[in-house]
Amino acid sequence: MTEKIAIASDHAGLELKLDLKEFLTELGREALDMGVDNDASVDYPDYGSPVAEKVSTGEVKKGVLICGTGVGMSILANKFRGVRAALVSDVYTARMSREHNDANILVIGGRIVGKGLAREILRTWLETRFAGGRHQRRLDKITEIEKKVNGQG
């Protein structure tokens, strides 16, 4: 079964989103495009939320979000339970976000990162496995904090 990756952007990330969507297909993944489809100005929460929700509920295991800097999308996505969105602008951070933090949403700044580098970041992020071990202990602590903050623990 082909891995589905939910992907969305605002107007500032449209060009990069379209390129990464094509790249996902080249890598044998299915890109679930959740908008936008033109460069008219929009509010990034309207497009980032559906991707974060799909990851949060487990409907998809991974997502990619793109806005101008990536900051807005990363703040938004991390509001969702169980989402670990990582704002990445280099290959090393892409690898570490998966290996140490088991990031399940990759966030890229469409006005910050060029297409070639974004493809390298995405490939590295998709191919890197979570290391577990001491890193799992740390993620468990984050989950407990998340429950406490949300009145569930």
- The residues carrying an active-site annotation are 67, 100
The token pair that represents 146 in the structure block: 């998340």
Give burial (CB, 10 Å; 0-12/13-18/19+) of 38.
Answer: exposed
- C-alpha distances in Å from residue 89, one per residue of 37, 47, 76: 24, 21, 18
Least Cα distance to 86 among 44, 7, 141, 77 occurs for 77
